[in-house]
Structure 1
Amino acid sequence: MTVPVTDGRGPPWVRRTDHVLRPDPDRVLARLFLPGQEIGPSGESRSAAVLGRVLALDDDEVDRELRDLVARFGDRHHDIEATWDEHFALVRHRVAGARQLPTNRRRLAGAYFTHEYSVEAAALFNPSMVQHPDQSGLPAGSTRLLMTVRGTGEGHVSSMEIRTGTIDVAGAVTLDAAPTRTLPPVVTEPRFVRAVFEHQLADLDGEHENAGFVLAALGPLFDRADLDAALDDLRAQRLTRGSAVRTTEWFDRIARRSYRAEFPPGSPWSERVLMPQSPAESHGIEDVRLVRFAADDGTVTYLGTYTAFDGRDISIQLLRTHDFAAFSSEPLSGPGARNKGLALFPRRIGGRYVALSRADRESNAVSVSDDLLRWGEPVVVQRPEHGWELVQLGNCGPPIETERGWLVLTHGVGAMRTYSIGALLLDLEDPTRVVGRLACPLLTATGEERSGYVPNVVYSCGAMKHGRTLVLPYGSSDSATRIALVDLDALLDALRPPSTTASRLARSRRTDGPP
Structure 2
Amino acid sequence: MNAGVTRASLRLRPDPRRVIAKLFVPGEERPEHESRSAAVIRRVMALDEETVCTVLDRTVRMFAGRHRDVRVTFADHFASVSHRLSADVELSESRRLLIGAYFTHEYAIEGAALCNPSMVAHPDQSGMAQGQLRFVLSVRGIGEGHLSSIGFRTGVIGPGGALTVDTPPNVVTTGLHGEAVYEKSLFQGKLAEFGQDDEVSAVLNRWLPARFTGAELDLVLADLHPSLVARQEAHRTVELIRWIAACNYTSEFPDDTVIGGRVLWPTGPSERQGMEDARFVHFTDDDGEQTYYATYTAYDGTDVAPQLLQTKDFRTFHVTQTTGSAARNKGMALFPRKISGRFAALTRGDGESSAVVTSHDIRTWNGAQPVEVPGRDWNLIQVGNCGSPIETPEGWLVLTHGVGPMRVYSMGAMLLDLDHPERVLATLPEPLLLPSVTERDGYVPNVVYSCGALLHDDTLVIPYGASDASIGLATTSLRGLITALTGKNELQHALAGTSHRRSTATEQHSTKDK
The alignment status of 1:188 with 2:190, answered yes or no, reads: no
Provide the secondary structure at the position in 2 that maps to 1:137. Answer: coil
Distance (Å, rounded) in 1 between the aligned partners of 2:200 and 2:316:
34
Query: Could you list the per-position Cα deviations for residues 176-235 of structure 1 after superposition, in whole angstroms to 9, with x for gaps in the alignment?
Result: 013322101110211111111112123222543431222211001111221122223335
Match of 1:244 in 2: 234
> CA contact under 8 A between 1:37 and 1:47: conserved in structure 2?
no
The alignment status of 1:18 with 2:9, answered yes or no, reads: yes
Distance (Å, rounded) in 2 between the aligned partners of 1:240 and 1:82:
43
Offset of 1:239 from its aligned partner? 7.1
> CA contact under 8 A between 2:25 and 2:35: conserved in structure 1?
no
Offset of 1:240 from its aligned partner? 8.6
Match of 2:42 in 1: 52
The alignment status of 1:268 with 2:254, answered yes or no, reads: no
Query: Could you list the per-position Cα deviations for residues 303-342 of structure 1 after superposition, in whole angstroms to 9, with x for gaps in the alignment?
Result: 0001000111111110000011111111111122121111
Match of 2:424 in 1: 434
Match of 2:459 in 1: 469
Equivalent residue in structure 1 for 2:393, among 367, 381, 403: 403
Q: Aligned letter for 2:357?
A: S
Number of aligned residue pairs: give it.
Answer: 484
Query: Could you list the per-position Cα deviations for residues 437-465 of structure 1 after superposition, in whole angstroms to 9, with x for gaps in the alignment?
Result: 10001100012210001111000000000
Offset of 1:412 from its aligned partner? 0.5
> CA contact under 8 A between 1:235 and 1:245: conserved in structure 2?
no
Q: Aligned letter for 1:16?
A: R
Query: Could you list the per-position Cα deviations for residues 239-286 of structure 1 after superposition, in whole angstroms to 9, with x for gaps in the alignment?
Result: 797722222122122112101100012311111111100111000000
Distance 1:360 1:74, change over 3 A: same
Matches within 5 A, 1:134-213: 134-205=124-195, 207-213=197-203
Provide the secondary structure at the position in 2 that maps to 1:389. Answer: coil
Equivalent residue in structure 2 for 1:223, among 210, 213, 238: 213
Match of 1:513 in 2: none
Match of 2:22 in 1: 31
RMSD after superposition: 2.0
Query: Could you list the per-position Cα deviations for residues 14-53 of structure 1 after superposition, in whole angstroms to 9, with x for gaps in the alignment?
Result: 0000111111111111111111369xxxxx9632221121
Q: Aligned letter for 1:157?
A: L
Matches within 5 A, 1:80-479: 80-96=70-86, 100-205=90-195, 207-238=197-228, 243-479=233-469
Q: Aligned letter for 2:393?
A: E
Distance (Å, rounded) in 1 between the aligned partners of 2:210 and 2:104:
40
Provide the secondary structure at the position in 2 that maps to 1:443. Answer: coil
Provide the secondary structure at the position in 1 that maps to 2:326. Answer: helix
Unaligned 5+ residue runs, structure 2? 488-514
Structure 1 stretch displaced more, 312-321 or 50-59: 50-59
**TM-score for both structures, normalised by structure 2:** 0.91
Distance (Å, rounded) in 1 between the aligned partners of 2:87 and 2:182:
39
**TM-score for both structures, normalised by structure 1:** 0.90
Equivalent residue in structure 1 for 2:481, among 477, 488, 491: 491
Q: Aligned letter for 1:245?
A: H
Distance (Å, rounded) in 2 between the aligned partners of 1:467 and 1:207:
51
Distance 1:65 1:222, change over 3 A: same
Offset of 1:108 from its aligned partner? 1.4
Offset of 1:379 from its aligned partner? 0.5
Offset of 1:237 from its aligned partner? 3.1
Provide the secondary structure at the position in 2 that maps to 1:108. Answer: helix
Match of 1:504 in 2: none
Offset of 1:395 from its aligned partner? 0.3
Structure 1 stretch displaced more, 215-224 or 234-243: 234-243
Structure 1 stretch displaced more, 129-138 or 378-387: 378-387
> CA contact under 8 A between 1:194 and 1:222: conserved in structure 2?
yes
> CA contact under 8 A between 2:2 and 2:484: conserved in structure 1?
no
Q: Aligned letter for 1:377?
A: G
Distance 1:424 1:37, change over 3 A: closer
Report runs of 4+ in structure 1 exceeding 3 Å deviation.
Answer: 96-100, 206-210, 239-242
Provide the secondary structure at the position in 1 that maps to 2:124. Answer: coil
Provide the secondary structure at the position in 2 that maps to 1:243. Answer: helix
Match of 1:512 in 2: none
Equivalent residue in structure 2 for 1:69, among 59, 64, 67: 59
Structure 1 stretch displaced more, 412-421 or 232-241: 232-241
Q: Aligned letter for 1:471?
A: V
Distance (Å, rounded) in 2 between the aligned partners of 1:93 and 1:391:
52
Distance (Å, rounded) in 2 between the aligned partners of 1:204 and 1:310:
16
Structure 1 stretch displaced more, 457-466 or 380-389: 380-389
Provide the secondary structure at the position in 1 that maps to 2:255. Answer: coil
Provide the secondary structure at the position in 2 that maps to 1:378. Answer: strand
